[in-house]
Amino acid sequence: MNNNQNTFELWPAIDLMNGGPVRLTKGDFEAQSQYALSFNDIVAQFETFASGIHIIDLDGAKSGVLTNTKAVSDIMNLATLPVQLGGGISTFECLNEWMTVGINRAIIGTKALTDPDLLARFITNFGVDKIMISVDVKQGKVMTKGWTESNEIGAFEFIESLIQKGIYKFMVTDIEQDGTLQGASNDLYRALKNKFPNIYLLAAGGVGCIGDLQDLKATGISGAIFGKAFYEGKISIEELNQFNNAG
């Protein structure tokens, strides 16, 4: 991992369903691609270029209960990179368990909107540095429960309310771009960075080629999460290393 704070961070994703890696298209649980790679193969490749590994328990995100516990443990046993984990972290006990196991950062989604008291407890016990809020956006509104439920609150309003609580780490996903390989929502990320210049912001959704990462880097945000483009060979390890070395 490159610890240069000016470096655009690369967080390749492992999305889990039924114990294995998948990628969804536009958040649709019925539109998934499954991959035959072993966790050992995936982690070994990620270790050559990544800033860290992004894991989402999609079953947990939908059900509210962390589901793919064995798969997550297997990945963490293989990885030397930092790991950020989300999906189904809906109780203090669940997050405490994963922090004890050694995840570097927890990604909190639905509960950040629906249970502010629990979010406050997370921050009090684990520190704001260990918490990243997942803001899933569809047509400008925040989505929850594994992208299945819309809320009336706008993404900018939601982020601003969390900043007022001392939170500064966010991942923002444009659901309509996720898994499409058609490019990220650069205008959205640029607008977020302009309005909230001091936040740590990771983009997720839509990366289809190395040029999309270059475009995201140009917005000034902290880094990107991507998956399908790598698994399907549209971005190579060589390209990613050249991207890192470009500074």
Ordered structural domains, the chain, with CATH: 10-245 (3.20.20.70)
15 is catalytic: yes
**Type of residue numbered 105:** R
Those residues with Cβ within 8 angstroms of residue 77's Cβ, 6 or more apart along the chain or in another chain: none
Indicate if the pLDDT at residue 3 is higher than 50: no
pLDDT band of 184, cuts 50, 70, 90 = confident
pLDDT band of 153, cuts 50, 70, 90 = confident
Q: Which uninterrupted H or E stretch holds 113?
A: helix 110-114
Tokens 């649709």 correspond to: 28
Q: pLDDT tens, 206-237?
A: 899 999 999 999 999 999 999 889 988 999 99
User: Average pLDDT of the chain?
Assistant: 86
Tokens 């989402």 correspond to: 56
Indicate if the pLDDT at residue 145 is higher than 70: no
- The rounded distance, in Å, linking the Cα atoms of 75 and 66 is 15
Q: What angle do CA 222, 16, 217 make, to 5 degrees?
A: 15
212 is catalytic: no
Q: Is 224 helix (H, G, I), strand (E, B) or coil?
A: strand
Q: pLDDT tens, 29-78?
A: 555 556 667 899 999 999 999 999 999 888 887 777 778 888 999 999 99
Q: Which of 15, 57, 174, 212 is catalytic?
A: 15
Between β-strands 131-138 and 141-144, what pairing exists: parallel, antiparallel or unpaired? Answer: antiparallel
Q: Which of 57, 59, 136, 215 is catalytic?
A: 136
Between β-strands 223-226 and 9-17, what pairing exists: parallel, antiparallel or unpaired? Answer: parallel
pLDDT for 36: 61
